[in-house]
Every structure is written in structure tokens, then in C-alpha cells.
Amino acid sequence: MVTIIPNGHSLSNAAVSRKLTTMTSTNIPPAPARGPADHDVRDQIVAAATEHFSRYGYEKTTVSDLAKAIGFSKAYIYKFFQSKQAIGELICANCLREIEADVSAAVAEASQPPDKLRRLFKVSTEASLRLFFQDHKLFEIAASAATENWQAVISYEERTRKLLRDVLQEGRETGDFERKTPLDETVASIHLVMRPYLNPLLLQHSMDSTDRAPALLASLVLRSLSP
Amino acid sequence: MVTIIPNGHSLSNAAVSRKLTTMTSTNIPPAPARGPADHDVRDQIVAAATEHFSRYGYEKTTVSDLAKAIGFSKAYIYKFFQSKQAIGELICANCLREIEADVSAAVAEASQPPDKLRRLFKVSTEASLRLFFQDHKLFEIAASAATENWQAVISYEERTRKLLRDVLQEGRETGDFERKTPLDETVASIHLVMRPYLNPLLLQHSMDSTDRAPALLASLVLRSLSP
């Protein structure tokens, strides 16, 4: 059971900012041919923006506010990011990649497809709760991303469906799962079952059930997959 | 496929108000021993309140605003309803009862438990879309009700679970559904699967999937129930 609550600021702003700076350095492909100095500036902007958004909110902050707070000119920020959303996308993409890393690791640790599926349900709910709600204002970015269907979200959903498909395919090969239903249909319907615990907009209204839902739903899905 | 969109005002305010006045007269138990005249006044207040909320929103309207708009004194309204929420509860309860009536009728028309279950998914999604979103401001009342867990919502959820349980029980008796899983678990997990299409807070973020989800999810659930 995950005990994090929506507004529980379980990390200080500075900690979130340090964490995301590290994530930025390790997870994001380098900006095209601007050299390491530019790279550092991008990281600085993302770190400062994360801290600023965490404190004042993403929606309400403009690039001008951000520039003023960071001590850079607006024009200088625009040299590195074409819009506020571009900064938000980077923060959001890092957040989603962290969820994915947790889920993939948990799935890889299990040896049998049914157990992989159980972990997929459990860990994706737990990781989504932790990443979207650990800091109220990161939820705000994730919510904007989901509402406006940012590219980071579309790619994340595609990769989640791919992971699910791989587990199902493996279970069909081992004989753990039935093979009569078209694989596309199985993937689409199981993804719909998981959606309230993956999408931050639905997750915020599913808090009452996050302790018991992953196990109950995984069991139901496993019964539906029985050969 | 239901084509209603969130902000599509498919009924005029007057039509919604007429409709709800009729519903009030037929569905709600009489107020205790105040005689038919009081009864009529209650109906009038609810009709006028529905129209007012539809136009100006539920959250923003106070009982004073309402009194001014209706032409009654605030004290007179308080004679019949102890708060704005009490009026909202009546409007909400009528809305939920209309959904239930549609769903129960559709389930009763089917003869086999698997078909009953398919209809339960399909019609409850369609009726929820129609009732919660036919008028933007009725959604606002339904959303407040769901957020604050009004009694009308609690009772509605209990009755929905009861209907689901009855269908499952019947299917266990006819041999259409498996009997190994505890019935309580089956009810709880299928109710979780349906939740994004029943609860207005989740439904508003599930619009992309309301055309295909009921059939896909009903098929998945039916596979999970296979004996």
C-alpha cells in the first residue's frame, strides 16, 4: 500500500530540483550540436523551472515570470526552449521515464508471465502515485500533459502498451494465456482496465481504490486470460 | 455510439427544467405531512433552481441568489430545503434514478446473463453520458455530488453493485459463469472495471473511449467469468 497523499510534499523543492537535474542529465538525448556549455544551461533552466513550478504552479507561471525568477533574460531562455510547454515536456518526459524504469525493472524480475502481469498492475500504480503526487505541482504538469495530449504522453502510452503486449505474447508462447482472442483486442481491453491507475487525471479520482484495485484487477484480467 | 459532447446543450434550460419537475413529481417520496400545496412549492423551487443552476452554475450560486432569481424570500426557501445542497441532492438523485431506470430496463429485456452483463456496460455508459453531460451545469452538480460523496451517490453506487451482483448470481445459477471466485470479489473487481464510465469525474476524462470501451470491457469480463 502506497501512503503518499495528493498534497503531501514528501520531497523538498530543492530535493525535487536536484533529482530532476540528475534525471535530465542522464535520461534526455543531447541537444543537437550546441556543445556541453549549452547542455549545462539547459539543465540549469530545467532545474530552476522545476523549482519555480513546484512553488508557484505550472499553469500560472509565464516564461517572463520564470526568466525573472531565474535571473536570465526571456530571450536567453527562448534560445534553449521554444516555449514554456517545451520545458514542461522535458520535466514530464523525465517523470514518465522514471515510472517506466520502475515498471520495466519489476516486470523483468518476475519469471512467469502471470506474475509479470501482476507486477505491471501493482508497480505502475505505485510509481504513478509516487511520481505524479509526490509534489502537488508536478501533478499539475502531468495533468496538463494528459489533458493536452503532449507528445511525451503519447509516446509513454505507446511504450506502456508495448510492454503489456510483450508480456501477453510471452504468456501465449508459454501456454499460460489463451490465444483465441486477437492479441490487439486483449491489449486494448487490458490497457483500458489499467487506465484509471496510469492517467493522472483519472488517478486523482481513484485514490480510494489504489490499495486494493491493482490486485483485484490483475486477478480478474488473469482469469480472462486463462487458456 | 453516443454522440453527445460535454458542453452540448442538447436540451434547452426550459426543457430540462420541465423534465426535472416531472421527475420530481413522480420519483421522490412525498415530504412528510405538509400537504399538497407545500409539495407544489417544493417542485417549483426545484424547477426554478434547476433552471438557475443550468444557466449560472451550481457552485457559484448561493441560496440568496436563488431566492432573488425565483422571487421567493430566502427564509421561505429554507422552509422547504435546509441548504443549497439539499436542492442539489434532489436534482442529483433524480438524475441518478433516471440512469438506473434505463439500465434496469435494458438488463430486464435481455434473457441470458451474458447478454444482461453486456447491456449493463453499454447502457450505463450511454445513460451516464446523456444525463451528466446533456447540460454542462448538471455535470457540475453530479461532480460536486461525486467529489463530496453525497448520500444520493452512495445509495446509487450500492444499487448499481446490487444489480451487478444479481446478474452474476443468476449467471452462476444458469451455469453461464464460473463459481470458484468468491462472489464479493467478482462484484468488487467488475465494479472497478465499470467505474470510469459510471462516475462523472472519471467519465469526463474517458470521452475518447466511450464508443468502444463498453463492448471491449464487457467481453474481457465475460472471458473472466467463463466457467
Domain assignment of residue B63, yes or no: yes
- Chain A's closest residue to B192, CA to CA, is A213
Chain A residues whose beta carbon lies within 8 Å of the beta carbon of residue B195: 196, 206, 209
Whether residue A41 is contained in a domain is answered as yes
| R_g over Cα of chain B | 19
B208 in contact with chain A, both atoms CB, cutoff 8 A = no
| Model confidence band, residue B55 (pLDDT cutoffs 50, 70, 90) | confident
Domain containing B116: what range? Answer: 87-224
User: Could you tell me if B56 and B134 lie in one domain?
Assistant: no
Is residue A55 in some structural domain?
A: yes
**How confident is the model over A18-45, as pLDDT tens digits?**
333 333 434 444 444 444 567 788 888 8
For residues A98 and A198, state if they share a domain. yes
In which band, very low, low, confident or very high, does the pLDDT at A102 lie, cut at 50, 70 and 90? very high
ipTM of the complex: 0.80
Q: What is the pLDDT of residue A18?
A: 38
Lowest mean pLDDT among A3-17, A199-213, B96-110, B208-222: A3-17
Residue B136 located in a structural domain: yes
The reply to whether B40 falls in a domain is yes
Provide the chain B residues 171-190 that lie in CB contact (below 8 A) with chain A.
Answer: 178, 181, 185-186, 188-190
The reply to whether B58 and B113 lie within a common domain is: no
Q: Are residues B80 and B56 in the same domain?
A: yes
CATH number of the domain that A39 lies in?
A: 1.10.10.60
What is the CATH number for B160?
1.10.357.10
pLDDT for the residue numbered A11: 35
pLDDT at residue A10 tops 50 = no
Domain boundary among B85, B105, B126: B85
CA B10 vs. chain centroid, Å, equals 17
Q: Give the residue from B41, B65, B85 where a domain finishes.
A: B85
Interface test with B, best of A216, A222, A226 (most B CBs within 10 A): A216
Residue B225 vs residue A144, higher pLDDT: B225
**Based on the domain organization, do B81 and B95 belong to the same domain?**
no
Q: What is the mean pLDDT of residues B64-72?
A: 87
Domain boundary among B85, B109, B127: B85
Mean pLDDT rounded to a whole number for chain B: 83
Q: What is the pLDDT of residues A121-156, one digit of tens each?
A: 999 999 999 888 876 667 888 888 999 989 989 999
Q: pLDDT tens digits for A153-181?
A: 999 999 999 999 999 999 999 999 999 99
Contact with chain A for residue B207, Cβ under 8 A: no
**Are A102 and A178 part of one and the same domain?**
yes
pLDDT score of A28: 44
Structural domain tally of chain B? 2
Check residue A119 and give its pLDDT: 98
> Which whole number is the average pLDDT over A66-90?
89
Identify whether A74 is part of a domain.
yes
